[in-house]
Amino acid sequence: MAYQQEIITPYNKEERKGAQVEKMFDNIAPTYDRLNHTLSLGIDRLWRNKAIDSLKPFSPQNILDIATGTGDFAILAAKRLKPKHIIGADISLEMMEIATHKVNQQQLERTISFQREDCMKLTFADDTFDAVTVAYGARNFESLDKGLKEILRVLRPGGHLLMLELASPKSSPMKQLFWIYSHVVIPFVGWLFSRDVKAYHYLTDSVNAFPQGEMMENILRRNGYQQIIWKRFTYGICTMYLAKKK
């Protein structure tokens, strides 16, 4: 089954989405952190903290952070969860180069390591991780179902998937305010910082197209997950999903 977000690509309709996403993040890597925190007005830190804290009752020791980017989520998870090991995985080597520098600066290299992975075909063995996290990366999956099935495969029985995604608010006036912000402010500021205006138009389009709420819960259940809970943050701008492997 194809979802609308799988059709939306950063640059063109000819090249496969995964290759375009890799190219996009390589392009915007130098300005990504500064722009990300600027666009979210710093609220994304609150969302990340709340999401990671939802894993505390399960004390995961081996964690895979998919679409790790510049490593912020992995670093925060290392500090708040105190696991034995976190692998940050991404298709963009430029993003992970920045992530590695940040991890070394914070002396977390014994806890966090990085490796290039395509989430459509992870190289890890079955039943490897206690938890898999995906922060703002699922909408970039070339195939949402395939990515979720791969995550389920590498999770150990009883392990958890934690997913955090931007969403489009459904209620007024936040719905109208977010439309203006996402369609006008984000592309303009993205162009000022990175000069890659297409990347930030893609951000808006992919957020709008990504399955939300009950629809995402049904997709997770169809792909084999259980005990699914989800919470909206900041009037529906961001949604957290927590699901378990049987």
Angle between helices 197-209 and 186-194 (to 10 degrees): 140
Beta strand residue intervals within the chain, DSSP E: 62-66, 85-90, 112-116, 129-135, 155-166, 225-233, 238-245
- 32 Cα distance to chain centroid: 14
pLDDT band with cut points at 50, 70 and 90 for residue 1: low
CA distance 208 to 73: 23
Rounded Cα–Cα distance for residues 178 and 181 (Å): 5
Select the more confidently predicted residue: 123 or 30: 123
Name beta bridge partners: 242. Answer: 162, 229
pLDDT given at position 56: 98
What pTM value is reported for the model? Answer: 0.94
Which pLDDT score, from 0 to 100, does residue 223 have? 97
Q: Which domain holds residue 186?
A: 4-245
- Pair 120, 18: CB distance under 8 Å: yes
The number of distinct structural domains making up the chain is 1
Q: What's the Cα-to-Cα distance from 241 to each of 4, 135, 165, 212, rounded to whole Å?
A: 19, 10, 8, 10
The pLDDT of 152-177, averaged and rounded, is: 90
Least confident interval from 41-45, 87-91, 180-184: 180-184
pLDDT in tens, 170-225: 888 878 887 777 777 777 776 776 777 788 788 888 988 999 999 999 999 999 99
Specify the higher pLDDT residue, 216 or 167: 216
Q: Which of 158, 159, 180 is nearest to 169 (CA)?
A: 180
Sequence-distant (6+) residues with CB within 8 A of 83 are: 60, 61, 62, 63, 77, 111, 130
Stronger pLDDT, 25 or 42, i.e. the higher one: 25
Higher pLDDT, 192 or 232: 232
Give the domain CATH number at 199: 3.40.50.150
